Structures are given as C-alpha cells and as structure tokens.
Structure 1
C-alpha cells in the first residue's frame, strides 16, 4: 500500500474516533434532559428566534415528521411554542421560550468550556491551522 493511501486511511479512522468521542462527550453534557436532536433544533431557534417547521427540517436536512416529533418533546418541556405566523396565517412557526433560551445559554457556556478544555494543550496558532485544514475539506 502506498504511503498516501495509508495516510488517508489513518486520517479517516482518526476523524471517526474524534467525532465519536466529541459526540459522546456532548451527549453526556446534555444529560438526560435533552437529546442531540432536541439540542440542534433548540440551537437553531436560539439563533433565529422563530422558524417554520418546514424551514427547520430543511436546515437540518431531516424529515418534517422528525422535526415535528422533536418539536413536540421540546414543547412538552416548555422550551418552544407553536404560533400562527403573522405573515401567513396558514403557517405555524416555532418560537423559543424564555426557559428554552436560558437552557440554551447554559448549554452554550458548558459547550464552550468543554472545547476550551479539550483544546487547552494546543497553541492558538495550531487551532487556527487545524480549522483552516478542516475547512479545505468542505
């Protein structure tokens, strides 16, 4: 096997392990209060304030029924509400509640602390380089 192919295979394996590790750590950070799917929906609503369910499904690249199920759970927890759109009364928008905003603010602080600790052994320049290299793959 040539060295380039071996390097690519090692990269793929390492990347998979890194993503799996980060996903597990972030799931642990969420605890049993919130699933990763709920986190992603709430994060978008935290950023945008409100969106139609169809727009959320499109942004996340998932089915409408998936977002509806996640939204039902978030609504039961008091973190989002459904409201008729003021622009189009036929349409329903999701809005993050104050409780949802507070929960997301807390999670974002915890996530930031997690990544600061995770990357604490790397100099800032190395983090910039790593980020630039990963962006080249997009």
Structure 2
C-alpha cells in the first residue's frame, strides 16, 4: 500500500483532534491521565495495582496520579478491611458529579463528531477499528 503515510497522518490528526477536544472539556481541571484514572475508579477498578495493569503504566506513575487526585479532593484512600496491605481508592462526591458531567460532555462530543457518518458507515468504522485493535 502506497498510502501508509496518508493513513498515518489521518489517524494522528483525528487522535490529536479528539485529545484536544477532551482537554477542552476537562477545562484544565485534570490531565487526561488523571481523568482516565477517575473514570476507571468510577467503573469499579479501585486498587492501584489494577489501575497500573489496566493503563499499562508503572505503579509509581499511578501513585503520582493518585497523590494529585487525593490532594485535589477527587479521591480518598483507605485500607481494605479484608487485607490491610491493600489500599482501596474511592471517588469523593465531588468527583462522582464531575466524572458524570465529563462523561456526558464526551458522549455529546462523540455523537457530534461521528454525525458525519451514516449509520452504516459508523457500523463499518466500528468493525474496522475492532479488527485493527485485535490484530
């Protein structure tokens, strides 16, 4: 295929465009990484080891992010009642509301961005992305 460079350029442009729009939605309150951690905690991933595996980053990186989130009153840490070695992370009420608000804005952005496609094109695009991700 001679158009690899064109494909690469288009993928980068779309990715960067989405990232900038999400950064705008976050309104500089959090980094993208911090929001991903909040989002995962919201979905039930509440231990640092699980977060580092899910995000494929070091435990020390997760510790730095969670330190910032604790300092900014987005999460709390406490020891597990079952195993005191395990630290469990929980969203504060403020963070729960923030995550829900951001997720709604992201959903609206995705719907708007993908409205350029017909329903059939969206389904094809989803299948192609799935195929690419599984390869």
Matching of residue 99 in structure 1 with residue 94 in structure 2 = yes
Q: Which of 108, 112, 118 is 2:113 aligned to?
A: 118
TM-score by length of 2: 0.92
Q: The residue matched to 1:136 in structure 2 has which SS?
A: helix
- Superposed CA RMSD in Å reads 1.2
Matching of residue 36 in structure 1 with residue 66 in structure 2 = no
Q: Which of 14, 19, 24 is 2:20 aligned to?
A: 24
Matching of residue 64 in structure 1 with residue 98 in structure 2 = no
1:1-42 Cα deviation digits (max 9, x unpaired): xxx2x2222212211111111111111111111111110100
Q: The residue matched to 1:21 in structure 2 has which SS?
A: helix
- Long gaps (5+) in structure 2: none
Ranges of 4+ aligned residues in structure 1 off by more than 4 Å? none
**How many equivalent pairs are there?**
133
- Long gaps (5+) in structure 1: none
* Deviating more after overlay: 27-36 vs 104-113: 27-36
Offset at residue 111 of structure 1 (A) = 0.2
Q: What is the match of residue 7 of structure 1?
A: 3
From the CA coordinates, give the structure whose radius of gyration is larger: 1
